[in-house]
Amino acid sequence: MSNAVVSIKTKTARTGERISHPFRVIVEKEMADHIRSWRFIILIAIIALTSLGSLYTALANFSQAVKPNDPEGTFFFLKLFTITDGTMPSFTVFISFLGPLLGIALGFDAINSEHNRGTMGRMLSQPIHRDYIINAKFTAALAVISVMLMALGLLVMGAGLIFIGIPPTAGEFMRVVFFILLSILYVAFWLNLSILFSVLFRQPATAALSAIAVWLFFSVFYPLIVNLITKSLAPSEMAAPQTIIAFEQFRLALLRLMPNQLFSEATTTLLMPSVRSLGPLTMEQMIGALPGPLPLGQSLLMVWPQVTGMAAGTIISFVISYVLFMRREIRSR
Amino acid sequence: MVSVPEIWKEVAVADNIIELKGLTRRYGPFTAVDSLDLAIEKGEIFGLLGPNGAGKSTTILMMLGLTEPDDGTVRVCGFDPVSDPVEVKKRVGYLPEEVGFYDDLTGMENLVYTARLNGLSSNAARIKAGKLMERIGLDAEKAKKTGKYSRGMRQRLGLADVLIKDPEVIILDEPTLGIDPAGVKEFLELIVGLSREQKITVLFSSHHLHQVQQICDRVGIFVAGKLLAVGDVKSLAAQLFRGEDRPAGSERKDYSLDDIYFRYFEGGVDHE
């Protein structure tokens, strides 16, 4: 017993001799801060509960969801993430709803809290480059989010495996992994947006509220606005097919300005292999097509624009916050 | 044709650890620091005096590379903070006016963090932080969260935080603000002791004239972005009060820094 304790001690002593790069030191500290914070514990509790709930509804309705002539019949493991009986939203809907909240919660006080505590001046007088601070904040939050979502996704898979008793195929497994990566990217977008607000606003409360306002705008009001616009512009049913298609494409283009629209399109495609188009299809395109699942590569190709869009949004908000932060003059408090 | 950096090397021979030449910083139409020239020698304790908004803090920020000068050059420990901020910050410890700590970490953890940012392994950092906590008299409080520290304790922890990187230069901006008189005395003695012992250069910016007089070898009086006078208290007094026997209305024989300072602001001295 005491031998074991001693060996652990010498081990830590040995690792303690390693000199870490300052960037790593900051990331480690930020990650520790996140994990220890009440905020994170509460978020984890909410998200774990909702995934449990969605998993429960998915499992309860699993037998009805699998139909004999379903082209996706071979992919029923993926249904764990998408099916619902209407009382509880599915796992993907939960992620698209709560993911932004997670991102916002981990980023809204990234920079301004350092100002308010007066630690920014002290940090910047250490021998580190200024961008280490903002980069490390982003990296730490992203690492925490990735670990959490990855664990959550794999746990849902594991639970599903226990209850259904049929293991997922390699293809299904890869689809779920891509879905998790996509969710991480989606949360990263909201994380960067809230970091941007934390650079812009001195008060963390203002930053949090503005980020939540953007989130609410996109998830509640923007679809309404798009509806209003498109309703007034809608062509009659007698209009030429080109007009109808052009209009439909215009409507989709407007909707695709929403990050949540991009996310839901991408997840639908990944988790429902029979989806073969996200836009309008003409009868000509449909005729002769056999309803069958797409291979993973084709599904990925189809969501590539959506992924690029989300990545672009993430990068743009990060670049703006980076530039603003680097140019700001730092005074104590 | 000699390039500018080479000229700098020639000038820097005089063992000046901080050299400011024609340093200027403007904020819109307002000139915070106006073509400032200043040289501070290694190992001296230099007092920077001046009213609020005189540009002291801006000057300090420019020395650390946290603000870029509009004009002029800075050399600290032989490096230019504009192009080499990290090298400068390795050698310069800065204690800001209101030092902030991570309130949910203990004093010890805060110190260890700074030490690791300065390239110490976590073991070495822990040992060094422990020693410093003892030295500044916070040994009993090292496991307490800094959120529960008193103002004076935070200030002392700030000094430890500066010392943990073994600096060549310490810049202190109003460090004694809000500490009780006994604490101030202890704090100042600690600084003087360190400076003499390890030949650390100290730049001490303060409004407390008697504190400055007590510990500083030389002082600079700073008004509206300009340095009006530099020198030790005696020579400043000799310059200013030539022909006067003793401070007006006082029994004292020597002139204090108060007399000098107020002479500058009562218009007794031609600023140009």
How does DSSP assign A269-330, residue by residue?
A: HHH-TT---SS---HHHHTT----PPPHHHHHHHHHHHHHHHHHHHHHHHHHHHHHHHHSPP
Give per-residue pLDDT as tens, B34-62: 888 889 988 899 998 888 778 888 888 89
Distance CA A277, CA A258 (A): 19
Structure tokens at B54: 């005189």
Structure tokens at B132: 């410093």
Among the four given CATH numbers 3.30.365.10, 3.40.50.300, 3.10.20.740, 3.40.50.720, the one describing domain B4-231: 3.40.50.300
Which amino acid is located at B133 in the chain? M
Confidence of residue A3 (pLDDT cuts 50, 70, 90): very low
Nearest CA in chain A to B120: A19
Give per-residue pLDDT as tens, B103-121: 999 999 999 999 999 988 9
Question: Does residue A51 surpass a pLDDT of 50?
Answer: yes
Per DSSP, the three-state class of A230 is helix
Crossing angle of helices A170-200 and A259-271, in 10° steps, is 170
Confidence of residue B182 (pLDDT cuts 50, 70, 90): confident
Per DSSP, the three-state class of B189 is helix
In a 13 Å sphere around the CA of B51, the CA atoms on its Cβ side amount to 8
Which amino acid is located at B43 in the chain? G
Contact between B25 and B70 (Cβ < 8 Å): yes
Residue A14 near chain B (CB below 8 Å): no
Distances (CA, A) of B164 to A58, B116, B131: 57, 10, 10
Question: Does residue A70 surpass a pLDDT of 90?
Answer: no
Confidence of residue B171 (pLDDT cuts 50, 70, 90): very high
Single out the residue of A103, A131, A92, A60 nearest to residue A189, CA to CA: A103
Contact between A292 and A71 (Cβ < 8 Å): yes
Question: Does residue A117 surpass a pLDDT of 60?
Answer: yes
DSSP designation for B130: H
Single out the residue of A88, A167, A65, A145 nearest to residue A314, CA to CA: A145
Contact between A26 and B117 (Cβ < 8 Å): yes
Region A35-46: mean pLDDT is 91
Residue B242's pLDDT is 66
Residue B250's pLDDT is 60
Using the structure block, give the residue that is written with the tokens 């000057």: B59
Domain layout of chain A by residue ranges = 20-327
Confidence of residue B127 (pLDDT cuts 50, 70, 90): very high
Question: Does residue A130 surpass a pLDDT of 70?
Answer: yes
Q: Which of A20, A117, A332 sits opposite B116 (nearest CB)?
A: A20
Distance CA A60, CA B244 (A): 99
DSSP designation for A221: I
Which residue of B102, B155, B177 is the best one to mutate when testing the A interface, meaning the one whose CB has the most A CBs within 10 A?
A: B102
Q: Is the dihedral of CA A194, A141, A315, A201 positive or negative?
A: positive
Q: What are phi and psi of A37, to 5 degrees?
A: -75, 150
Question: Does residue A12 surpass a pLDDT of 50?
Answer: no
Contact between A235 and A193 (Cβ < 8 Å): no
Contact state of A118 with B99 under an 8 Å Cβ cutoff = yes
Domain layout of chain B by residue ranges = 4-231
Residue A74's pLDDT is 66
Report chain B's mean pLDDT, rounded to a whole number: 83
Residue B236 to chain A, least CA–CA distance (Å): 32
Contact between A303 and A270 (Cβ < 8 Å): yes
Report chain A's mean pLDDT, rounded to a whole number: 84
Nearest CA in chain A to B167: A126
| Residues above pLDDT 90, as percent of chain A | 37
Using the structure block, give the residue that is written with the tokens 């100002």: A115
Residue with the larger pLDDT of the pair A185 and A285: A185
Distances (CA, A) of A203 to A116, A330, B70, B259, B267: 8, 16, 30, 44, 43
Residue A149 near chain B (CB below 8 Å): no
Going by DSSP bridges, is the β-strand pair B218-223/B201-206 parallel, antiparallel, or unpaired?
A: unpaired
Question: Does residue A10 surpass a pLDDT of 50?
Answer: no
Using the structure block, give the residue that is written with the tokens 């991009």: A262
Single out the residue of B193, B166, B162 nearest to residue B175, CA to CA: B162
Question: Does residue B267 surpass a pLDDT of 60?
Answer: no
Give per-residue pLDDT as tens, B239-265: 767 666 655 556 666 777 777 777 776
Structure tokens at A79: 């249904």
Residue B135 to chain A, least CA–CA distance (Å): 21
Give per-residue pLDDT as tens, B63-106: 988 888 888 999 999 899 888 889 999 999 999 888 889 999 99
Confidence of residue A30 (pLDDT cuts 50, 70, 90): very high
Question: Does residue A7 surpass a pLDDT of 50?
Answer: no
